[in-house]
Structure 1
């Protein structure tokens, strides 16, 4: 099987099976193992305020180990690659987590807040219905890029080694890529590498959301909104999603008890929203997944 055919099978398997809880209750998920590796190197190489060199060494060790492990596992054949790739994709689990917020909001605001707290890092205790819905939609758009399109992209380019390298960098960024006293310098290499590896996939995700929604012609406006985001990549899928379902995203939100006035994304869209807007975003998640599946099928047949 060629690389695209393996990815095609993995995308379908992930969409059907998702994350089987019975399995991960018994053995650690590969992402958990990657997290443990990051934590061990953090403990060993960053006693408090690790510098750039220690952080760069950590990243090199993680990427090198991930590449070698991916290469070794890829020698076990197509079936092993399909299973591992499906495990490292997150379409079905993403949909389930986002849909849970809509289901929670239909019951009560408190249920919606509790559900969205599972997928965002911002303060949720004082959110109104619209803020809960916006948070879920923003998480859906960003994680569609990080958890589905980017892993598929790097598997297509680099096979299982490429996918493993991407996932370990993404995991490292989520753990040490913060501008805190402990990680300001130590985590900088991981954060910058994550930006590099997500640069193309974020824009690809944006296009895959925008094209079937008929908003690709608003690319200049999408780019303008994306440029205001604090991340060089996350703003692209968020801006496309905002226009695809005609809602305003981002805007003011609280972190650690402090309200921060972020600019609106898709400012002309609806600001009073609820579970129906989340449902629309979930539909776009599957629509975008279908677009990616079609591209991979073309590569499998003719690439």
Structure 2
């Protein structure tokens, strides 16, 4: 059974089931287990001298362990590969979390803030409705890339070892890849390797959103917005999603009580947005999923014919 066919099955399984509470309330999700290991290493190594060297060692250890685990799990056969791949994709859970923000905003601003706090790291207590909506849409665009397209890409490239390496590095970046005093040195390797692994998937996501929204004429604007983003990768899907929905994203926001004056993405578009735009973002997430499924299915068909 080809890797592409396994991915088609996994994409469909993830879309159908997502992350069922009945399962993950009984056993630990693989991402949680990876996070537990990273937290243990962080506690024991992130102090004293040579923290950058220690951080590089942590990343090398994670990559080696993920590779060996992936090779071992591959021996279980295609059914196991489908299930594992589906577990490590995040399409259904991403849409559910983003849609919950829209539902929350329809109920009340406080409920919208509570829901968006579950998917972003910025301060949410004093957010306006528009800020809540923008945060949800930005999270949708970024996590479409690193939670769906990137895992699928690395599974196609290198099977379960590639997928597990990507998930380990991406989880490490989300936990220790911060540019603050505590993690600037220790998390340097995790952050840089995550940037490298997301380089192609982020731009693939960008192209897919542009293709579905027909915004080719604004390519130059989107590239300029992406280049001004604080992340070398996240700005690409955000710039495309902003044009696809005709909304302004990013802009000033607060982290740990400190306001940061970040550049707007598609700043001339409407900024006063709400639940309706969040729901439109969810629709776009499913359209991108459908395009990805279609492309991989075509690949399967071509391999079968030739």
- TM-score category by the smaller chain? over 0.9
Q: Tell me, in whole angstroms, the C-alpha distance in 2 between the residues paired with 1:182 and 1:50.
A: 13
- 1:216-295 → structure 2 map (5 Å cutoff): 216-295=216-295
Q: What is the rounded CA distance, in whole Å, between the counterparts of 2:225 and 2:154 in structure 1? A: 26
1:4–1:156 contact (8 Å) kept in structure 2: yes
Unaligned runs of 5+ in 2: none
Query: How far off its partner does 1:132 sit?
Result: 0.6
CA distance in 1, matches of 2:264, 2:182: 31
Match of 2:94 in 1: 94
The count of corresponding residues between Structure 1 and Structure 2 is 303
Q: Does 1:161 align with 2:154?
A: no
Once residues 64 and 293 of structure 2 are traced to their aligned partners in structure 1, the CA distance between those partners, rounded to angstroms, is: 29
Map of 1:22 onto structure 2: 22
Task: Give the structure-2-normalised TM-score.
Answer: 0.97
Runs of 5+ unmatched residues, structure 1: none
**Partner residue in 2 for 1:111:** 111
2: CA distance, partners of 1:292 / 1:201: 12
Residue 163 (structure 1) shift = 0.1
Displacement of 1:50 in angstroms is: 4.9
**Deviations 1:170-218, CA, capped at 9 Å, x for gaps:** 0000111112222111110000000000000000001111101111332
- CA-to-partner distance for each residue in 1:154-178, whole Å, 9 max, x for gaps? 0000000000000000000011111
Q: What is the alpha-carbon distance in structure 1 between the residues aligned to residue 125 and residue 185 of structure 2?
A: 32
The whole-number CA distance in structure 2 between the counterparts of 1:293 and 1:208 is 12
Q: Which runs of 4+ in 1 moved over 4 A?
A: none
- For 2:128, the equivalent position in structure 1 comes to 128
Could you say which residue in structure 2 is the equivalent of 1:171? 171
Give the alignment's Cα RMSD to 1 decimal: 1.0
Report the equivalent of 2:189: 189
Please report how far the alpha carbon of residue 43 of structure 1 lies from its aligned counterpart in structure 2 after TM superposition. 2.5
TM-score (norm 1): 0.98
Residues 73 and 80, structure 2, Cα contact 8 Å, conserved in 1: yes
8 A Cα contact 1:104 1:112, kept in partner: yes
| CA distance in 2: counterparts of 1:195 and 1:272, whole angstroms | 32
